[in-house]
Structure 1
Amino acid sequence: MSDNDNSTREAPTRRDTIKYGGAVVGGSLLAGCTGDSDTGSTPTSSETGTNTATSTRTTPEDDSYSVRMAPMGKVELDEVPQDVFTILGHHVDMLLALGRGDDINAMHGPGYHQALYEKLVAHLDGVSVDWEGLYSSWPPTKEKLYELDSDVHIADPAKVTTGEGWDDGDIQEIADNVAPWFGNTLSGTNRTPPEGWADRYEYYTLWEIFGKIAHVFQEDERYEALASIHESLLQTIAENVPPTYDRPSAALVLLSADEDSGWGYKLNYPGYYAAHTRPMGAEDALADAVGEGYGDDGRNITLDYELLLEADPDVLLVLGPMTGYFDLDEIRQRLENDEVASEITAVQEGLVYAQGARRQGPILNLFQLEMTAKQLYPDQFGEWPGYVNGEPYPEIPESEQLFDRQHVADIINGDI
């Protein structure tokens, strides 16, 4: 059936327990919505991400509540969702942090996320992941969303409209007949919203989005407890990073598995993609780099070894190895054996380190803040023990850990 054919879907199939309220979403459908505070697209968030979401109940006898976030506006729910659709990793991570990892029925690249998060939860007692075989949900199909019959779609409707076969009418149809949308993705790099969404889009920090997702599931205490750990970690980093003149230059890259090319990402650019590198205040070796494929308003760059040598970072942070899709030893060997790449300072000094992923939620963010602090500033935060391919996130002596694993595990497990 065509994605635009609504003839076989009738309004009575809409859930009685969870409804999409207030604003409708997408394009011209937004024109008649007034009174929402989620307007404009200027980021006003602090690094710590103060939670400004509202969650209100009308009367003590009424269990319904509402949560507000751009680009959806106000979403009304009659009870806490149980069966949850997701697409991207930052939302997946947030659900896991709220103790809802087993409630997820879909995500983009479940094998990828399974491989990455297994390496993290190995250090969190009582926390596990089992996502293999889930529906890989990008781009989703309407038919599959009807079949899954989720209680909520933790996904950004503006982002979904960029997928093949989707328009604003399809977004509204699913919100009406299945369950509401609730997610924010373009804050990853403060990306320009697709046509029809700019007047409603707003950018948030990672932890602001997490706070709003927590409201959806009425898990404010979990959020606040984890946010407190995050704020303490940021304070530790801020108090101990060396002076600007004594900081190394660094580059964050994703290298091709079999070619002398890849992609570079801005360390200090706004958005939650850089939520683990921006607090370090390191000099971005690629900050002024320009080359073929340079785009996305300066957020990233297509690079080759020549351009990377021109940038010449003191430390090279390589995305991918912790997901299991790239081999760090092979990457290092390829760099060392290449006539051009072998001249890069980071390669010569043996300062090529594994990273996880840019699309991070609270759990990955805590681990990546710790690993990045140690990789860039070992004298201040303790030496990074190194990542071994296929193994969990490395063991770090308790006295050198920058956050308490057991405390995080207890919160995820509900012992707050």
Structure 2
Amino acid sequence: MKFNKQIIFSLLFLVTVMFGGFLSNPYSTQAEASLNLNAESAILVDFETGKILYAKNPDATIPPASMTKMMTEYIVLEKINNGELSWDTTTQISDYAYSISANEAFSGVGLKQDQDYTVKELYEAMAINSDNATTVALAELIAGSEGEFVKLMNEKAEEMGLTEYKFVNSTGLDNADLDGNHPEGTEADDLNLLSARSTALLAYHLVHDFPEVLETSSIPEMTFAGQTIRNWNWMLPHDATFLEQFYYEGIDGLKTGYTESGGNSFTGTAIRNGNRLISVVMRTDSKEERFEETAKLLDYGFNNFQNEELFPSGYQLEDQTSLPVTKGKEDSVNISLGESITIPIKTDEADLYTVKYHFDKEKLNEDGELTAPIGKGEVVGKAELIYNGDNDYGFITDNNKGTVPIVTDAAVEKSNWFMLMLGAIGDFFANIFTAAVDWIAGLFS
């Protein structure tokens, strides 16, 4: 009988623990589990902080198709911002770009040769209609050839800190589809490759460095060379009735993609109540599904996370409020967070976050002391945000991993030479006394 009671007690205890776990944050936990995204790879990022809110196979490399054009857009906007290019600069269409435009298998706006097109016209056709020929024309204008432009793309990817990438052309088409016209320096069977993480980081840099990109990416349709061109982003407010089901409030970008090798993909961004999210879904089963899965991701982010100041500026760890000081008029100095830590978190999860100090070893001597003089607000290390719950996806950028500086709260002047000398003499005799005591103790041990 005693054995049965123990079994019953253990089962009740187990059920209680499990039930309590579900109660800790049932909505957000169930919401994440119920996403069940039908995409091979996906990621969701808070734009303001770079915090990754959700990820599914984020480092798998997949052909990004026309999402490749985000890198072309970035380089165009950078050249314009640097004064190396103007929106009014004109160019004509090369034989290669014309052959791309004339190919009905590719997105095309029907470019003509022996006609001047402005950079603005070409850019809008690329960003809105995902036109391939205008993309090639821009690449050739900027770098002289698409092959040289591809070099710029890969150099910029490395500079941005993309971790999984390979750019082999400016458009996102498979090189195998270019009938031997693949860019110099690439192979005929090469593919552009990106992971969801790298795609989101590219989108992050694009929107962060050139927010004007959204002015173009949010245009549902416009006129180009006397014809109407339409945005492939069905989540924008299109007039077509069959597209109404895909409309998403707050969406204003960013880039669709499709190739047979890469499937259907979409990098989206939306803003609600001042909060912007960036989403990426890669290799969904259909054009429709890439928008449906994006809506799931964005809903999850907007419905389950809110920005909260977890640790204010001036916050001090209870067991580490100060650091010892040597050669100063004070023996110690108070330290605290130099900046607040504010990130999007799930409801009722604030208690799952702590901070951990990492002191700058170059600022401390071998005894762990700061050496005077010390200025007020001097950075002595970094405080790292620690999440003690499940599924911590980290941050999209290397320069923001939930760390803020640890600073001194006051200045400490260097002690004068006389006091330093007295201290040195005191230390000298103290060491002699300690050594003598140890010697005498050793005689009787």
Q: Same fold (TM over 0.5)?
A: no
Structure exhibiting the larger radius of gyration computed from Cα positions: 2
State the TM-score bracket (shorter-chain normalisation): under 0.3
